[in-house]
Amino acid sequence: MWLLRRCVGWLLRKAVTASQQSAEAADVAQTTDVARRLVRDPVCGMHIDETLSIPLRAEAELVHFCSTACRDKYAVSAQKMAANG
């Protein structure tokens, strides 16, 4: 009897945990279903979520980058092009 109670208790705890995890997964799925705008890094060509990108206003245009290294490369090349005319 004792062993049977332990097994049933274990199964019930497992079922409750699984239902909680599925509810949490449904909440996450709802938040990730929101459409996100991808932008392209002009230096490396990588696509990145606009909210995670590093923006830089270059002349009259807003450019997005995947990292500060790409942003810095773009800024240096833009300065060189401006200096050369």
Instruction: For 22-65, write each residue's pLDDT tens digit.
Output: 655 555 555 555 567 899 999 999 999 999 999 998 878 899 99
The predicted structure's pLDDT at residue 81: 72
Could you tell me which CATH class the domain 38-84 is placed in?
A: mainly beta
Record the pTM. Answer: 0.55
CA trace torsion 75, 59, 51, 44 (10° rounding): -40
- Tokens 């932008």: give the residue: 39
Chain center to CA of 77 = 28
Name the pLDDT band for 2 (thresholds 50, 70, 90). Answer: confident
Burial zone of 46 (CB within 10 Å; 0-12 exposed, 13-18 middle, 19+ buried): middle
Domain limits, the chain: 1-34, 38-84
- Asked whether residue 1 carries a pLDDT value surpassing 80, the answer given is no
Instruction: For 10-30, write each residue's pLDDT tens digit.
Output: 777 776 665 555 655 555 555
**Contacts by 59-65, CB closer than 8 A, 24 or more apart:** 64/39, 64/40, 65/41
